[in-house]
Amino acid sequence: MPTLYVTQPGAVVRHAQGRLLVEVGRKAVLCASVREVEGAVVFGAVQVTTAALCAIWQRGGNVAYVSSHGRLRGRATPGEGRNAVRRIQQFQKHCEADFCLDFARRIAAGKISNSRAVLNRLARNGHDADLRAAAACLKNHAVTARQAPQAAILRGIEGSAAVAYFAALRKVLPMELGFGVRARRPAPDAVNALLNLAYTLAGHELWTALETCGLDPYLGFFHAEKHGRPALALDLLEEFRAPFVDRLALSLFNTRALQKRDFDFAGGQARLHPTSLKKFLATYERAVNAPFTDSRTGERVSFRRLFLGQARRLAHAVEGGDAYQPYRHR
């Protein structure tokens, strides 16, 4: 089922006779059956009525509120689906140093290996030969990450690998974009702005998947606890950054589907123009639902299905099952 994205400032999402209506100035600009919508993401000054919220909640969905610069402001989620027993198990595992370190090693090594896979694919497609050297560097970082004696050292390894990875990506992106280094917020250029937004959307989906599986998204095993930060959702996001978000961004920029002119740079902070934002969201929705073959199982999956599948694998590991295995991109 698709996600409903609403970007028009001043729009109101209403519910009437089993349908969600998006109105601008009391004029309906979109109509969708509640049964066809799994949730909603609204940007900026958009209102969602109580009736619309309840209709989405009854289907098990939620509403994410995102700023015009791509920052997740909050989520409206249904009150059902809480799993107290599983959360107690999660809290117990959080107190087990060996479990946390093993999980963190796997996540960091998985992220670095997936970044390496992206660079290798770019190298095979005829890009700069230096990409192979960067990929070899990441291979060494992945090996080191699997052997890190403590979380602080592991984060340093992961950070060094990220610097090498984005330095390599800079070489295959159009120079006009002005991409220098990875910067979160404020985003100084188009590349960072798009990455920030896409990471927010994917993180929101992983947050939902974790809640669906009865896990607490705020209590992670790799990312440190911080007030208001969904550490566990960020843990799982690491393995999907390169193979899903970064590849999507590279494709959009290198095919010129998105260009520098699609962004506004007011106040020294880049963000997509409203019309370009709509275009990107449509592309994101197609990409997250696009089927492909999972190299581990041979099954046809999509990234949206993988998000839920990885959350289920983590829930199994928390319950005392097999050790968590991150998604590996080939």
Q: Judge whether 330 lies within some domain.
A: no
Cα dihedral: 30, 33, 34, 37 (round 10): -70
**Lookup result for tokens 């409903």:** 4
Contact indicator for 280, 252 with CB cutoff of 8 Å = yes
Tokens 């669906």 correspond to: 212
CB 105 within 8 A of CB 151: no
Number of domains in the chain: 2
Query: 94 and 70, same structural domain?
Result: no
- The reported pLDDT for the residue numbered 80 is 59
**62 and 111 inside one domain:** no
What is the pLDDT, as a whole number, of residue 299? 87
pTM: 0.91
Q: Measured in whole angstroms, how far is the alpha carbon of residue 133 from the centre of its chain?
A: 27
Query: Which is nearest to 238 in space by CA: 295, 314, 173?
Result: 314
Say if 158 falls within a structural domain.
yes
Instruction: Judge whether 37 lies within some domain.
Output: yes
**325 found inside a domain:** no
Residues 29 and 176 in one domain: no
Identify whether 45 is part of a domain. yes
- CATH number of the domain that residue 7 is part of: 3.100.10.20
Residue 327 lies inside a defined structural domain of this protein = no
Give the phi and the psi of residue 51 in degrees, each rounded to 5: -60, -40
Number of other residues whose CB lies within 10 A of the CB of residue 286:
11
Domain end position, chosen among 36, 55, 76: 76
Task: Examine the domain organization and report whether 204 and 275 are in the same domain.
Answer: yes
Q: Looking at the structure, do residues 179 and 310 belong to the same domain, yes or no?
A: yes
**Do residues 62 and 39 make contact, with C-beta atoms less than 8 angstroms apart?**
yes
Same domain membership, residue 108 and residue 72: no
Comparing CA positions, the residue from 92, 221, 28 lying closest to residue 6 is: 28
CA–CA distances in Å: residue 240 to residues 62, 104, 160, 314: 22, 15, 18, 15
Q: At which of 76, 93, 112 does a domain end?
A: 76
Closest residue by Cα to residue 168 from 201, 203, 137, 197: 137
Domain for residue 195, yes or no? yes
In eight-state DSSP terms, residue 12 is E
CATH number, domain with residue 154:
1.20.120.920
Which segments in the chain show pLDDT lower than 50? none
Residues 149 and 258 in one domain: yes
Among 49, 76, 103, the domain boundary falls at: 76
Is 265 found in the same domain as 129? yes
b/e 153-183 (16+ beta carbons within 10 angstroms → b): ebbebbeebbebbbebbeebbeeebebeebb
Q: For residue 45, what are the domain limits?
A: 3-76
- Angle, CA 124 vertex, CA 119 and CA 128 arms, to 5°: 65
Q: Are residues 213 and 231 in the same domain?
A: yes
Sign of CA dihedral 195, 198, 202, 205: positive
Q: What is the pLDDT of residues 121-147, one digit of tens each?
A: 998 876 677 899 999 999 999 999 999
66 and 110: one domain? no
Q: What is the pLDDT of residue 201?
A: 96
Residue 114 lies in a domain: yes
Domain shared by 182 and 137, yes or no: yes
The DSSP result for 198-253, as a single string, is: HHHHHHHHHHHHHHHTT--TT--SSSPP-TT--HHHHHHHHHHIIIIIIHHHHHHH
Give CA–CA dist 284/248, Å, rounded.
8
For residues 306 and 221, state if they share a domain. yes
The 8-class DSSP code of residue 291 comes to: -
